Structure 1
Amino acid sequence: MRIFLSRPHMSGHEEKQVAKAFASKFIAPVGPQLDGFEAAVAGYLSGSPGAELHCVAFTSGSAALHLALRIAGVGAGDEVWISSMTFAGGIFAVSYLGASPRFFDLDPLSWSIDTSRLADELAAAARQNRLPKAIVPTDLYGQSVDLDPIERLGADYGVPVIVDSAESLGASYRAGRKAGTGGDAAILSFNGNKIITTSGGGMLVTRHRAWAEQARFLATQARDPAPHYQHSSLGYNYRLSNICAAIGLGQMQVLKARVARRREIFTRYHAALARPGLCFMPEPEGQHSSRWLTTLTLDPAQTGVNREDIRLMLLAHQIETRPLWKPMHLQPLYAGAPYHGAGVDEALFAKGLCLPSGSDMSEAEQDEVIGRISDRLAQG
């Protein structure tokens, strides 16, 4: 049997919610399950300090980011400053709007955007009158970025902050503040491999009611309030369906359990595999990662093996793993884009591996992964 990196994990609650949607005949495009899903996420996230939150569900996290950037005023010729180590969906929206990315490295102690480098570059940009139109830091592998300094920088320079929290639902920042509540807006993903899923989907989370209202308008083809179809703005067909939202509503009932299980999986990996030259993603003091994916780095000089040795060996045994995200400044599509960093993200990509981490993973499956990695490390 193949061991997957992170597959959808259903609980039974989802099927009940979908049945309710069928019984009510709210199949598409909206309905009570969609309203309930947005309310459930807002209620979960609002358990953290801060103002009231507004949630709008879309067909993908990429769609949510696209609309957030547009609402923030990003357009052709603008710059967006963004983490270089991210999934392509976290940067394509910048290009959709005709804007240009400026990429930033990570802090090696947190694997979060380097806030000191960001501060230096903002100060220089302010002096030169070339501030970005938005800042998009990325929560990686289930862990929040360092929100406090990033939000202060955004406020100090008047630059909107949109946090890409696609990978971090269920994590928390300092004082119990939940990931997904940062900046002027945050975006979530409910893709099939995420900690909870709607089969495919995403969400915009914002404290600005006007942003949420504009997002709903743009996501439903920007139809003007008229009895006929009238359009004064360019819109999109981005709204999440009521059926997909029903799946998400069921998944929200087990989110805490899913986080707990992924953290258990990480703890077992860490206890069994940690050794000189093999390191796991750090968790800064005060933060609580969801450990969406367990990620590690291998130093061949100390372990005698490299990332690809382990990945290919596991693949031969039907065990799915994946390298860390390839930094976007190394991608052919963005060759020549400005990059500020010391190559921390490049080193992580060269040495990093994501291990199977799904919440439905059995201990026997995890033991197999651990055993095969341990045997390969013993061979050197």
Structure 2
Amino acid sequence: MKDKIWLSSPHMGGNELKYVHEAFDNNWVAPLGPNVNGFEQDLEKFLNTDVKIAALSAGTAALHLALIECGVGYGDEVICQSMTFSASANPIAYQGAIPVFVDSEIDTWNMCPVALGEAIRDRFAKGKKPKAIIVVHLYGMPAKMDEILAVAKEFDIPVIEDAAEALGSIYKGKACGTFGRFGVLSFNGNKIITTSGGGALVCHTQEDKDKAVFLSTQARDNAPHYQHSHIGYNYRMSNICAGIGRGQMEVLKDRIQARREMTQFYIDLFANIEGINVFTEPSTDFYSNHWLAAITIEAGKVGKTREDLRLALLEDNIESRPLWKPMHLQPVFKNAVYYGENVAEDLFNNGLCLPSGSNLTDVEKERIKESIVTLFN
């Protein structure tokens, strides 16, 4: 069997081990140390705005802490983009809160501002004021943040940006993850850079960061003994993982360029096949890191379905994946309220993510091309 071509595999830069060895040499293996501080500073500099970063064990942990800092508790409602990975919605349940899902719009595949407004007005009419709004920058594509923030401001509801897939993406000259009350980043193994497992909370004040660090280190009070006045969590990033992150930050710009080139590869590949649309920016206001290249297939025009292509690639040991199944269609959230139409559902039924790794070789790209051309010819 041919070697597997992965959807998005880790890509080391070369200097990760230098920082890891420094941690071992100095016995800094705990969830604090020079690499944690350095990684946070590297991220703050990269985001190029006045933010404070708390490095954590996962993006999910960051989202959970953001909800806590926004005051979300048992029985509260939180509006969440439906088309996303489950980690965007699960922390709502951690807090005993209730998710309210909102459809996407077709330009960016992200939260529809019109449906968002309709959802909030209806919740108000039912005597409910949502405590927070979770918007996702799907596959690295920035959401329509101006419109979403305008709706949020009208109703005085804080926005949490799930930018787990969007490190390096930019909306109107500003980094994704820096628009909302909080932003969330992920460094999972398949992300554009990785710390093996890890994430970060993007804060706008030192007070918010300090609270996140306090909660993420078991909320230990300032006392000579172990005293706790709040429920805490074991969410802080280790100095070892942060060392990997520091090495990855040195090559982040190269990784973004390589991912964007993969999307251009697919644009060129599908240019003469009517009915296959490559997911790309709707205007120059949007700059995507194109973490994952994605397409939609109009089966009536092409004569092939999303599943036909996925199975053809699988036969050649090439990994691809349907778009995220919307949260309001997931069994675990079957009783959740949903606002919108069928945009997210249609995208799921007709969309496919294609191999996008920054470490794909020319030989692997040729294999991908041959497999696709063979199917459609």
1:297 matches 2:296: yes
Secondary structure of the equivalent of 1:44? helix
- Three-state SS of the structure 2 residue aligned to 1:297 is strand
Matching residue within 235, 247, 260 for 2:244: 247
Deviates more, 1:145-154 or 1:345-354: 145-154
Structure-2 residue corresponding to 1:190: 187
Report what 1:170 is aligned to.
168
1:8-27 to 2 correspondences below 5 Å: 8-27=10-29
Matched, 1:230 2:232: no
- CA distance, structure 2, for counterparts of residue 291 and residue 230 of structure 1: 46
Q: Is 1:180 the counterpart of 2:177 in the alignment?
A: yes
TM-score (norm 1): 0.96
Q: Once the two structures are superposed, what CA deviation does each residue of 1:22-67 show, in whole Å capped at 9, x if it has no partner?
A: 122111121000000011101111x25xxx2010011100011011
**C-alpha separation in 2, matches of 1:363 and 1:353:** 22
Residue 58 of structure 1 aligns with an amino acid whose one-letter code is: L
In the TM superposition, residue 220 of structure 1 has moved relative to its aligned partner by 0.2
Contact in 1 for aligned 2:83/2:110 (Cα 8 Å): no
CA distance in 2, matches of 1:226, 1:284: 54
2: CA distance between counterparts of 1:173 and 1:75? 31
Q: Does 1:210 align with 2:238?
A: no
Q: Is 2:53 the partner of 1:30? A: no
Residues 208, 154 of structure 1: alpha-carbon distance in 2 compared, 3 angstrom cutoff: farther
1:358 aligns to what?
A: 357
Aligned amino acid, residue 89 of structure 1: A
**1:134 touches 1:161 (CA, 8 Å); kept in 2?**
yes
* One-letter code aligned to 2:145: L
Q: Matched residue of 2:89: which SS?
A: helix
| Structure 2 unpaired stretches of 5+ | none
2:102–2:119 Cα contact (<8 Å) kept: no
Kindly indicate whether residue 79 of structure 2 is the aligned counterpart of residue 81 of structure 1. Answer: yes
Conservation of the 8 A alpha-carbon contact between 2:295 and 2:353: yes
Q: How does 1:1-380 map to 2 (within 5 A)?
A: 1-45=3-47, 47-48=48-49, 52-174=50-172, 176-274=173-271, 275-285=273-283, 286-378=285-377
Describe the superposition over 1:51-99 as per-residue Cα deviations: whole angstroms up to 9, x where unpaired: x201001110001101100110101111100100111111110001001
Instruction: Provide the rounded CA distance (Å) in 1 between the counterparts of 2:197 and 2:79.
Output: 27
Aligned mates of 1:282, 1:106 — CA distance in 2:
15
| SS of equivalent to 1:9 | coil
**Rounded Cα–Cα distance in structure 1 between residues aligned with 2:86 and 2:123:** 26
Q: Secondary structure at the match of 2:55?
A: strand
Please report how far the alpha carbon of residue 269 of structure 1 lies from its aligned counterpart in structure 2 after TM superposition: 1.1
Q: Is the 8 A contact 2:123 2:129 kept in 1?
A: yes
Query: Aligned partners of 1:79 and 1:73: how far apart in 2?
Result: 11
The alignment partner of 2:352 has SS state of strand
- Residue type at the aligned position of 2:78: V
Do 2:32 and 2:238's aligned partners in 1 also have CA atoms closer than 8 Å? yes
Moved over 4 A (4+): none
The amino acid across from 2:216 in the alignment is A
Amino acid at match of 1:238: Y
2:317 and 2:336 map into 1 onto residues whose CA distance is: 37
Measured after TM superposition, the shift of residue 209 of structure 1 is 2.4
Alpha-carbon distance between aligned partners in 1 of 2:366 and 2:179, rounded to the nearest angstrom: 37
Letter in 1 for 2:140: G
Question: In structure 2, how many angstroms separate the alpha carbons of the residues matched to 1:151 and 1:340?
Answer: 18
Which one is further off, 183-192 or 203-212?
203-212
Supply the AA of the counterpart residue of 1:109. D
When normalised by structure 2's length, the TM-score is 0.97
CA offset at residue 127 of structure 1? 4.8
Cα distance in 2 between the residues matched to 1:223 and 1:33: 22
Which amino acid in structure 1 is aligned with residue 17 of structure 2? E
1:90, 1:164 within 8 Å by CA — same for their partners in 2? yes
Unaligned residue ranges in structure 1 (runs of 5+): none
Identity within the alignment, %: 46
Residue 103 of structure 1 aligns to a residue whose secondary structure is strand
Q: Partner of 1:215: helix, strand, or coil?
A: helix
CA RMSD of aligned residues (A): 1.1
